[in-house]
Amino acid sequence: MTYLFWFRQLLEYLAGEIDSPPDGFSVRLTTILFWGLWWGVLAAIVYIFSGQSSKFIYIDF
């Protein structure tokens, strides 16, 4: 299996597209701590990119 294919499967697993992880990735769907934190990381990524969308953006340093 190429790394790229493995990585694609990993992303699909993390995103909920497939239910089984690629070989060598030990986190199962029942590992609730991982998934709780993973959702938190996704929420944090959405959060930091949520800002102004106006033409004029004012940032006071």
Partner 1 sequence: MITRRQLGWTAFILAGFLLAMNFGVAYLTRNSVPRRVMRHARDSQPARVIALGNSLMAAGFEEPVFDSAAGLTAQEGAVNLSLGASSPVEQLLLLRYALAHGIRPHTLIYGFYDLQLSQPVEFSANDMIGNHAVLYYLEPIYARQFYSMSARDSLQFKALHNVPMFADRGAIWSKVEILRRSMAQQGMPQQNTNQFGKAADFSLLEPASADAFRKDCEAAQQLPLAPPVAELIRQAHEANMDIVLVEMPMRQSHRAQFYETKWWTDYMSHVRDLLQPYHVTFVDAGDWAADDSLFDDPLHLSQRGARLFSQRMGELLSVKAGQIADNPLK
Least distance (Å) between residue 41 CB and partner 1:
8
Q: How many residues bind partner 1 (CB under 8 A)?
A: 26
User: Which tokens go with 27?
Assistant: 């986190």
Tokens encoding 14: 């993390």
* Nearest to partner 1 of 23, 60 (CB atom): 60
Nearest CB to partner 1, comparing residues 17 and 40: 40
Tokens at 23, concatenated = 């070989």
| Tokens at 6, concatenated | 């493995």
Query: What distance in Å separates the CA atoms of residue 46 and residue 51, rounded to the nearest whole number?
Result: 10
The residues of the shown chain that bind partner 1, judged by CB under 8 A, are 19, 29-30, 32-33, 35-37, 39-40, 43-44, 47-53, 55-61
